[in-house]
Structure 1
Amino acid sequence: MAAAPLLELDRLHVKYGNVEALHGISLTVNQGEIVTILGANGAGKSTTLRAVSGLLKPSGGEIRLDGRPAQGIPAHQRVRLGIAQAPEGRRIFGTLTVRENLGLGAFTRQDSAEIAETAAWIYGLFPVLEKRRDQLAGTLSGGEQQMLAIGRALMAKPRVLLLDEPSLGLAPLLVKAIFQTIREINQTTGVTVVLVEQNARAALKLAHRGYVMEVGRIVLEGPAQALMDDPKVQGAYLGKRAHP
C-alpha cells in the first residue's frame, strides 16, 4: 500500500467575508516533493498557503498533515507540527538583526546546541547572511531579505516549507541562485516544499509536480514537465503561443 501524502487539502473552501476565495480545492503533496502552485494574481495561491499555515480559517473542507486533521490547530502549533512559511513580501523584522530574525524562527525549539547547528547550516546556504549577521535586517537588499525569510522558516526545522513568491522583485541572476538553493535544501534534507510562484518557468524547472489555479479553483495538475509542455500553460504563463 502506498504511503499517505504528507500534506492533503480536501475540498477546501476559504472566504473573505462573503467572498469565496477557494472553491473546494483538493491537492496532495508527498514527502520529499517540490510542488508548485501557479496562477495569476487573485487565483488563490497565497490564500492556499495561508490556510495551510493556519493564518486563515477555512469555511469548509479539510487540511491533513500525515493523515491527521490540522485545520483546528493554531498557526504557532502548526509550526511545532512541522509547517513553516516564508511569506510573500518577506515580512522580516527590520529593526532586529539578521541573527535575531533567525533566532525568532526557532521559537518552538529548546535545544540551543541544535539551534546553533541549524543557524550554521543556514549561514552555509546563504554566506552573505553570516557576513551581515549583526546588521539590521531592514538595511539588507531585497535578495538578502528573501534569503533571510527562507532561513528564518528553516530555523523551525520544518517538514513542509511553504514559499510564497520567493522571486518577487528580484533580478534574474538572484532568482536563479535562490531557486538553486531551494533545490539544494530539498535534496540534502528531504524537506518537502510547496512553492507559490508567478515565475512559472523557473518554478516548473524546479518542481516535481504542479497545480494551476484560476479564480479559486484548480484547473490543471500533473508532473512539472507535462505542465511545461501543455499548450495552455505555455500560452498563459510561459509566453508561448500554441500553434494553430
Structure 2
Amino acid sequence: MFLEIRDLHVKYGNVEALHGVNVTVNQGEIVTILGANGAGKSTTLMAVSGLVKPSQGGIWFEGEPLHKLPSHEVVKRGITQSPEGRRVFGTLTVQENMNLGAFTRKDQAGIRRNLDWIYSLFPRLAERREQLAGTLSGGEQQMLAIGRALMGDPRILLLDEPSLGLAPILVRSIFETVRKINQAGVTVVLVEQNARAALKLATRGYVLEVGNIVMEDTAASLLANPEVQNAYLGGAGA
C-alpha cells in the first residue's frame, strides 16, 4: 500500500478530533476528503505531515510508519503540504518562498528543474518572482503555496482547501493545474469544501463527519449519490 491511514485517533487536549479514521491512497491517484468545517479534514492532513501526533493508530507510507517521524523527515520521504490559508511568508519574495520549499534537498540540478517546471505551471509566479509574497493576490498566493510544496519534489502532495476564498474562474485554473501535477506523476490528497470541483477532479473520495469516515467510494459514485448531493452539492441534481 502506498499511503495508509489506519485507525487514526487524534486528540487536542481532552477533545478527540479523529475517532479511528481509515484512508488508503494508491500511487498516482487523486483522493479527496470531503466534509463540513470542523469535520477533521485538516487534522487528518496534519497527522500525515507529522504536525500532530496520533493518540492511537497511525500512518504508513510504503510500509514505513510515518507517525513515528518528525515532520521534516516526512518531507524528506516525499510528502509535502500546501496548508489551509496559504501561509506564505509575506515579507519574503516569491523566489525566496520557493527556495524554502526545497530546504530538505541538496540536489541543485534537481531543484533548478523543479523550479522551471513550477514556473511553467504558474507563469504568473515567474513574472512576480522578485515581488514580496504579501503583495500578491489571493489566487497568486495560493499558486505560491502549491509551488512551494512542489519544491520539495513530492511523491504525495497534500492540498488543504486550495479553492478557499478564490473567485470561480481562479478555482477552475487551480484545479486544472492540480490535474497537470497529478499527470506528471505526483499523487494528490485533496481536502476541499468545494465538493463538486473536488469530485470532478478526484479518482476516489471519502466523506468525513465529526471525526469519522461515513462514506467512501469512487468520485463519480459520490457525485451521483443523493446523500452527498443534499449535504455537499446543494441538493439533488444540482
TM range, normalised to the smaller chain?
A: over 0.9
- Aligned positions of 1:38-187 closer than 5 A: 38-187=34-183
Q: Mean Cα displacement is larger for which, 208-217 or 114-123?
A: 114-123
Residue 17 of structure 1 pairs with residue 13 of structure 2: yes
What is the alpha-carbon root mean square deviation over aligned residues? 0.8
Residue 191 of structure 1 pairs with residue 186 of structure 2: yes
SS in 2 for 1:71: helix
SS in 1 for 2:36: coil
Find 1:213's aligned residue among 204, 208, 214. 208
Find 1:8's aligned residue among 4, 8, 18. 4
Find 1:227's aligned residue among 210, 222, 225. 222
Percent of counterpart pairs with the same letter?
70
SS in 2 for 1:96: coil
Tell me which amino acid in the other structure corresponds to 1:172: P
Runs of 4+ in 1 over 4 A off after TM superposition: none
User: Equivalents in 2 of 1:161, 1:197: separation in Å?
Assistant: 14
User: Equivalents in 2 of 1:47, 1:113: separation in Å?
Assistant: 35
CA drift at 1:68? 1.4
SS in 2 for 1:235: helix
CA drift at 1:241? 3.7
Tell me which amino acid in the other structure corresponds to 2:174: I
Find 1:26's aligned residue among 22, 25, 49. 22
Tell me which amino acid in the other structure corresponds to 2:19: H
SS in 1 for 2:92: coil
Q: Which consecutive residues of structure 2, in runs of 5 or more, have no partner in the other structure?
A: none
TM-score, scaled relative to structure 1: 0.96
Number of aligned residues: 237
Q: Which consecutive residues of structure 1, in runs of 5 or more, have no partner in the other structure?
A: none
CA drift at 1:32? 0.4
User: Equivalents in 2 of 1:238, 1:190: separation in Å?
Assistant: 29
**Counterpart of 1:240?**
235
